[in-house]
Structure 1
């Protein structure tokens, strides 16, 4: 029989194992941002071409998260978690040897699918094994995965300085090994399988995949003009997906949950907008700094550290504020700061100093800290404890939809070249997105009822 200190230590090791696994997806999404310019040169690509490396990763993640979540219920959480680590190991080992850009995209898709397995299976493991302060543990993991994305460009810049883009894949191995050893040691064995592969809503998976892909094609077509037929097909598929999933007892995307939880649905919409703005900056700025400001990858990574550093710095302060006043005040500050930070990007010129750019990015880092924690706590304010799993899964799906749209936005704005006027266009777009986020925040109830505690 374990005593209290042993139980606490085991829970800490379990959370650490899950955290090390779940950071692989957000970290790998942003580490690649500082390597885009190098990849363009190596494979002779335009920015629109190389943006497919981002889009396909998020497309695979958006599909992989709910699929792997369902598989973890059917085949066991530990098994799916370990499968995810195996796929990330395989892709990280083979990606540096890619003979062409197409092969690199393929290995990134495998990496996305593997890293997508860790979040839903890890969250489910936490919910089943940790009974006290469960919501705090779930929130901590969600915040951890979001914050790790902000450090990606800085780590990627350092790796490119001492090597080349293959190091971005090879640096995954310390995290993989540590997560694997801990998970093997502290995760309980899976119970006997209770379902089969046929229990999966495969038609829903296919419909969702095709719908997201068509919307991606529609937004990527903006650089050549609006494609009305792609818009019509995307809208038609969305309606079909909604109606089909409404009639399913075990839907792939639980649209009935969304319809019955209006505040949660608006939070998801706001989270999509948050990620469009955040990832447009996280992917757009590094390429701009290297192409226009002529910074090397290491200096680019150091400048981008402004976002990560200030995001982490304000998070504990925001947490204490939220405990006292609720989520809405922090979200009001966060969304307003997105608008302010985006407009301050208009001050950046062709020969701006690294200090000036860093100061602007500090404001955006503060906004990220407020919005990340505010969105996480706001979500759990409006969902019951038994709805935590589905709410967390749809929350991550919203994140990936936002990141897919951000890559489409960058491909449209930057196209074949990156200039300061195009950066300013991105700034205006992010300011408008920030204003929309502010309006969504204003409609939230002033003091949320913490249903998760009921």
Structure 2
């Protein structure tokens, strides 16, 4: 295969000079690196921002398009399905076309979708818009991570520090989502949560264009090779299985479509066969079969996200439908959940270092049970003070478990498998979130009626039961023995 010659254009590098030049001072290079990372962080923050803003827009969408809760949850499910498929695929595309080029393309996709979706004539087109947002924002994180090393090399700023800034942007995006979404929906309506992406994506695109390093020369590959390496058939079977199963489950209360269950079983079997035989599988089932510790991490993380997102998406629905709060106030009442997560992140990391990973996981698991059970109070009262305290109480275990589960991932995966393992880890997050919206769609059928409190108690009973299962699974997890001699910087497990 022919190798393309190096490409140097007018794009500025980290030091603010033409790529390939070395006349910038160290201070200029660090400043350029800071602007590059700020631009990349803004782009990566769009995915969690859009993921969390929608939580306070469901009621407005229901009223606009005359929907039930089960139908409205598809606007969330569509986003997570596309994200689950898009994240690993975008990593491959970044390797093929260059991470900087892919990042900027993704920001263009976000802007186009954000401009068009507010004019959607039907709810189905809104869901299509959410899929477009998921695909566009999915380009950001793998592209940003790929650009960290050249930025670090050019500026002298350590890679962990740059990665830490990007991670904080992702956490902040999820944190401010309900507040930003609530203010936008209460003042401008649901179209505003799409339109707000336009200036943010534009800033990210311009900053990346000006300050991020140009893509290195890359070996040209055939499209067929790219398709095979991305396992597009496996991704299609994965999505087909989930969609068929979700439609079947959401239709159980009316007339169950049993043929969809059969489709889900057949597609699921075909997916397993494909992943076991593919040279580069979307989800490496062989890796899971050979590593019980890693498989337990994925199972625990999926159950954890099922519990968390049941509260994250269910509570705003209850506060607006049953409590009568508008979207703006609901967003403010939800803010402590994410704010506590941000505030406790440094303490959570220190706790792991001092007390050990397994102990921290168990503490977080027990805290999740308590925090979830406290949500039952909302069935009796939606007093704002009580809601602020309850959402803050949910934030603490979420922070602890999130940090510890990330460490457990690296404690369970072999160093050579950690890239693939991290991709499957993200997929397990999306699967948990999709399952949560399905639970809400099945149980919460009368959010503003007399049965709202009873239905909420059923949701919390399910979530609390799953939180107990999660804690038991955490208790059965043990790191692989080779991790005890690993020197990768992961805290020693005890």
Global fold match (TM > 0.5): yes
The equivalent of 1:340 in structure 2 is 370
Q: CA deviation at 1:110?
A: 0.8
| Cα deviation, residue 75, structure 1 | 1.9
Question: How far apart in 2 are the matches of 1:333 and 1:410?
Answer: 27
Deviations 1:37-84 (A, max 9, x none): 111111111111111111111111111112212211222212221121
Corresponding residue number in structure 1 for 2:181: 156
Q: CA 1:446/1:388 → structure 2, altered by over 3 Å: closer, same or farther?
A: closer
After alignment, is 230-239 or 136-145 more displaced?
Answer: 136-145
The answer to whether the 8 Å contact 1:384/1:453 transfers is no
CA distance in 2, matches of 1:264, 1:43: 43
Q: Residue 408 in 1 paired to residue 438 in 2?
A: yes
Structure number having the greater helix percentage: 1
How large is the Cα RMSD of the aligned pairs? 2.5
Q: Which moved more, 1:444-453 or 1:173-182?
A: 444-453
Q: Equivalent residue for 2:223? A: 197
Contact 2:244 2:260 in 1 (8 A): yes
Give the match for residue 436 of structure 1. Answer: 469
Alpha-carbon separation, structure 2, partners of 1:108 and 1:386:
34
C-alpha distance in 1 between matches for 2:350 and 2:59: 40
2:332 matches 1:302 = yes
Q: Deviations over 1:310-334 (max 9, x none)?
A: 1112111112212333332322222
Q: Residue deviations 1:215-256, cap 9 Å, x none?
A: 322432343487665444434432322222222222222223
Task: Give the CA deviation at 1:125.
Answer: 2.6
| Structure 1 runs not aligned, ≥5 long | none
State yes or no: 1:75 paired with 2:110. Answer: no
Q: Give the corresponding residue for 1:426.
A: 459
Residue 182 of structure 1 corresponds to 207
Aligned to 1:453: 488
Choose the corresponding residue for 1:223, options 253, 268, 291.
253
**Mean CA deviation greater in 287-296 or 115-124:** 115-124
Q: Which residue of 1 aligns with 2:196?
A: 171
2:411–2:479 CA contact under 8 A, matched in 1: no
Match of 1:285 in 2: 315
User: Is the contact between residue 306 and residue 361 of structure 1 (CA under 8 Å) also seen in structure 2?
Assistant: yes
Report the Cα distance in structure 1 between the residues aligned to 2:485 and 2:44, rounded to whole angstroms. 26
Matching residue of 1:124? 146
Cα 1:222/1:362, change in 2 over 3 Å? farther
Structure 1 155/379 Cα, relative in aligned 2: closer, same or farther at 3 Å?
same
Structure of greater relative contact order (alpha carbons < 8 Å, 6+ residues apart): 1
Q: Does 1:53 align with 2:75?
A: yes
Q: 1:284 to 1:105 in 2, by over 3 A?
A: same
Bigger radius of gyration among the two:
2
Structure 2 CA distance, aligned partners of 1:452 and 1:12? 29
Distance (whole Å) between structure 2 residues aligned to residue 451 and residue 382 of structure 1: 11
Q: Tell me the alpha carbon deviations over residues 390-412 of structure 1, each in whole angstroms, 9 at most, x when there is no partner.
A: 22222211111111111111101
Q: In structure 2, list runs of 5 or more residues that go unmatched.
A: 1-21, 490-494
1:325-336 superposed matches below 5 A: 325-336=355-366
Other structure's SS at 2:282 match? coil
Aligned-pair distance for 1:107? Answer: 1.2
Shift of 1:134: 4.1
Superposition deviation, residue 198 in structure 1: 1.0
The CA distance in 2 between the partners of 1:10 and 1:277, in whole Å, is 41
